[in-house]
Amino acid sequence: MSKVVRAATLRKRLFTSAHKVTARCCFFAATVSLVAGFSTVHAAEKMVAKEPFSPALREPVENHLYWGDLHLHTSLSSDAYINGTKNVGQEEAYRFARGEEVVADNGVRAKLKQPLDFLAVTDHSENLGLYSLIERKNPLVVGKPIGDRYSEVLELFEKVGLREAFMTVMRKYGPMPEMPVDMQQSIWSGVVETADEYNDPGNFTTLIGYEWTSMINGDNLHRVVLFRDDADKASQIVPLSALEDPDPETLWASLAKYEEKTGGMALAIAHNGNLSNGRMFSPNRVNGEPMDQQYAEARSRWEPVYEVTQMKGDGEAHPSLSSTDEFANFENWDTTNVAFTQDKEPWMLQYEYARSALLDGLVYEQDLGANPFKFGLIGGTDTHTGLVTTEEDNYFGKFHGSEPAPDRYIEKMGKQFEPNWKLGASGLTGVWAAENTREAIFDAIRRREVYATTGTRIRLRFFGGWNFEEQDISRADYARYAYQSGVPMGSDLPHREQKSAPSFLIHAVRDLDSAYLDRIQVIKGWVDSDGKTREKIYDVALSDNRKVPRRGSAKKVGSTVDVENATYQNSIGAPELATWWQDPDFKADQPAFYYVRVLQIPTPRWTTYDAAYYGTELPEDVPRTIQDRAYSSPIWYRP
C-alpha cells in the first residue's frame, strides 16, 4: 500500500466518527420501548396510522427475489443478554437490517452495504426478555421471586460463570421460578407490536417469530417459529417454552391450536441437526416410538423448510456420508452436541445432515406413504448480536464476545464452547415472491420457493419440467415460460406424460458486491431398485470455458486469494452461469430429488480478513479461504 493511501485510510478510521458526533447517534437507542406500556410517550405514538401499502402495477409472472434472515437474536434472548448483547434490541436489529447505521455492543458503528428486504427476530421464548427487565429494574419483576432469583444469577454470573451461578441459586432456593403468564404476555405484546411498527409492506417486511429451544440431554432440537400474521393475531398467544416439554410434536400441536384460535398461520423451522447427536432426523419420535404416517404428515405440514446453514456449522452434507463430494467438507461442526456435553459418534451423522435426511425421506415415503423430510432449504445467521452480518469482510460474530476485536478468533464462543474462529459468516435466505409483504414471504416459505446461501447474495433460479429445451434458457422470458410449463424450486415435478427424462433450467448470477462464480452443480438423490438410497453430483455449468467431463469431477477453478493482504480478484470465475440440464440417469420407477449448489470462486475467509486487519497470526487449522455457496430447495420426482 502506498504511503498516501495508508495515511488516508488511517485518517478515515481515526476521524470519521468524530464528524458524526451530533448527527447520527443510535447508541442507547430505545430498547426501553420494547416492552408495551413501558413509556406513555411510546404508547401514544402508536396511534398514528401508517400510510397504507399500495403495490405498484406489475406483472408478477416472474416473481421477485427478496433477501433476509429468518433467525436472529437480540438483547431479549437470555443467552445473548448475559453474553453482553445489551444495547442492540429488537428495534436496533430491524433498523440495522433495513440499512440504517447502528452501534454494535462493542461500540463500533455498523451498517450494511446492502439492506435486507425482510427479517424475523426470533428471540428464545424461554425467559424471553427477563434479564433486560431485571437490569432496567422494571416494576414487572422487582420484588417478585423470578426477578430476585434471576438477578442473583446475574450477579453471580460475572464471578463464577453461568452454570455455577444457576447451581448456587438453585441450591439456596430450590428450582428456578417460572415466568408468570402476565409477564410473558406483557413482553410478548411488546415484541409483536415492535415487529408491526417496523413492518413496511413493499419495502421491508418483519415476520413475527420466536425460537423454541428444545434440548434433550444437550442435543439440539431447536425450532424457529414464524407467523404470517400481525400483532392482533400473534398477541393472542404467548410463545411456547421448551422447558415444559421438549417434544416437537407438542410444538406442532400448539401451532395448530394457534391457527384454530386466531384463523392465522404459523410454521416451524428446525436448525443445527449437526449438533443434535443423531436426533434431528431420527427414525424415532421423541417418545421413543418409531415414526408413523401421522408423524410424517405432521412434520412436513409444520416444517416445510430446514435451516441448512448458519454460524454454528453448515448442515448440507458431511464428507463421511458423501465420500465422492469434493465440496462436502465445508464449515462442518461435527465433534459434539449443542451443549458440548457429549461427543459425536459416527452413526449419528446420517440423522444430522440435510442431504441424508432428504434421502431417508424418499424411503419413508415408500414405506409410510408420507415424507417427513420433505423440506426446502433456507439459511439463517442465529446471530446473538442483533446484527445480520454474513459477509466474510464484514462479520460481527455470534455473541458480543465474537464481535470484531484482535483476539476474538481464539476466544471461546460464549466463553465456554468452541473457539470463535470456527464460526461461519453464514447464512441468508433468498425468497421468490410476488411482493415484499408478510403474506407473500410466508407463503413462499410454505411452498418452499426459497433457498439458502452461506451469506453471499447469489441470485438463483431453478425450474424443472418435462419439456424444457436447451434454447429455453436463452429466452428473455425464460422465467415466465418456466413458471407456465414447469415448476420452481420446492415443488414436485408435474405428472409425467411424455417418455422423456426431466429437464431443468438453472440460472445463477453473482452477488454484485462479491465474488464471481465457479460452477453450478445439480445434486440428485434417489432410491434404487434395491431400495437403497443413492446420490450423485453433476457439474452442469462451469466458468472459464472448462468442459464438463464425462466422468469424474471438473477441473478446479483455482484461487486468486492473497492471504497475507486478504484480497482476491474476479479474474477467474464467471459473473453469470445459465444452463439447461437433463438427467442422463433417469429411471421412471425410482423416486428422486434434485437440488442445485452454486459455488463462488475462493475468497478470504472472515478470519483471514481479521488476521490481515489486526496483524494477528492464525492457528494452522483455520481455513484461509472459503468458497461461499447457494443451495436451492429441491424439486422432487415421485413415480
Partner 1 sequence: MNLLKRMDPLIVFILVGSLLTWGVHAFGLAKGNDSVIMIDQQVLSDYLASQMNESADSLAELTQEEQQQLADRYIRDEALFREAKKLGLDQMDGAIRSRLIQSLKFSLAGNDKAAVGYPLTEEELQDYWTKNSQRYTSSARVSLSHIFFDVARHGKDVAYQMASQSLTDERIQNWLALGDRYPYQRVFNDVTEDVLAGEWDAEAAAQVFHNAEETGRWFGPVESRWGFHLIRIDRKLDSRAPVYEEIRPQLVKALLNEKREAAREQAVNEIVSRYSVRSDYSVKTEHVEKIKHVVKTGHVVKTEYAVKSEAAQ
Does 507 bind partner 1 (CB under 8 A)? Our answer is yes
446: cell is 410454505
Query: Among 434, 432, 507, which Cα is nearest to 476's?
Result: 507
> What minimum distance in Å lies between the beta carbon of 28 and partner 1?
4
The torsion angles phi and psi of 460, rounded to 5 degrees, stand at -140, 120
Is 106 or 389 the residue whose CB approaches partner 1 more closely?
A: 106
CA pair distance 233, 139, nearest whole angstrom: 27
CB 393 to partner 1: min, Å: 18
Among 213, 231, 226, 253, which Cα is nearest to 446's? 226
Residues of span 345-384 touching partner 1 by CB under 8 A: none
DSSP reduced 3-state for 460: strand
Place of cell 436472529: 72
- Stretch of 37-45, 175-183, 333-341, 629-637 contacting partner 1, by CB under 8 A: 37-45
Binding test (CB under 8 A) with partner 1, winner from 6, 163, 261, 555: 163
CB distance 381 to 426 below 8 Å: yes
| Interacting residue with partner 1 among 211, 314, 393, 435 (CB under 8 A) | 435
Cell readout for 417 is 464452547
Listed ranges 61-69, 211-219, 261-269, 558-566: which one lies at the site for partner 1 (CB under 8 A): 61-69
Nearer to partner 1, 526 or 609 (CB): 609
Q: Which is nearer to partner 1, 370 or 598 (CB)?
A: 598
Q: How far apart (Å, rounded) are the C-alpha atoms in residues 523 and 595?
A: 5
Residue 530 neighbours by CB distance under 10 Å: 6
Residues 369 and 297: their CA atoms lie apart, in Å, by 9
Q: Using the rule CB under 8 A, is 48 a contact of partner 1?
A: yes
Residue 244: name the closest of 127, 332, 88, 352 by CA: 127
- Cell numbers placing 30: 430505545
DSSP letter assigned to residue 275: G
Stretch that binds partner 1, among 25-33, 211-219, 375-383, 605-613 (CB under 8 A): 25-33
Residues of this chain, 73-92, that bind partner 1 according to CB under 8 A: 91
User: Between 58 and 555, whose beta carbon lies closer to partner 1?
Assistant: 58
Q: Tell how strand 629-632 and strand 592-600 pair up.
A: antiparallel
4 scored as a contact of partner 1 (CB under 8 A) = no
CB 161 → partner 1: shortest distance, Å? 6
In whole angstroms, what is the distance from residue 224 CA to residue 89 CA? 18
Mark the segment that binds partner 1 (CB under 8 A) among 125-133, 234-242, 314-322, 470-478: 470-478
Interface residues for partner 1 in 188-207 (CB under 8 A)? 197, 202-203
Nearer to partner 1, 480 or 624 (CB): 480
220-259 binders of partner 1 (CB under 8 A) = none
Contact 64, 71 (CB under 8 A): no
Residue of 347, 350, 323, 318 whose CA lies nearest to 334: 318
CA distance 93 to 121: 8
Q: Is the dihedral of CA 93, 94, 95, 101 positive or negative?
A: positive
The one among 70, 348, 473, 515 contacting partner 1 by CB under 8 A: 473
Pick one of 477, 528, 562, 564: the residue that binds partner 1 (CB under 8 A): 477
C-beta closer to partner 1: residue 5 or 48: 48
- C-alpha span between 548 and 553 (Å, rounded): 8
- Binding-residue pattern over the window 556 to 595 for partner 1, x denoting contact by CB under 8 A: -------------------xx-x-----------------
Interface with partner 1 includes 51 (CB under 8 A)?
yes
Chain residues in the site for partner 1 (CB under 8 A) = 11, 14-15, 18-19, 21-22, 25-30, 32-33, 39-42, 45-46, 48, 51, 55-59, 61-62, 64-65, 91, 106-107, 159-161, 163-164, 167, 197, 202-203, 405-407, 412, 415-416, 435, 459, 473-478, 480, 507, 509, 512, 575-576, 578
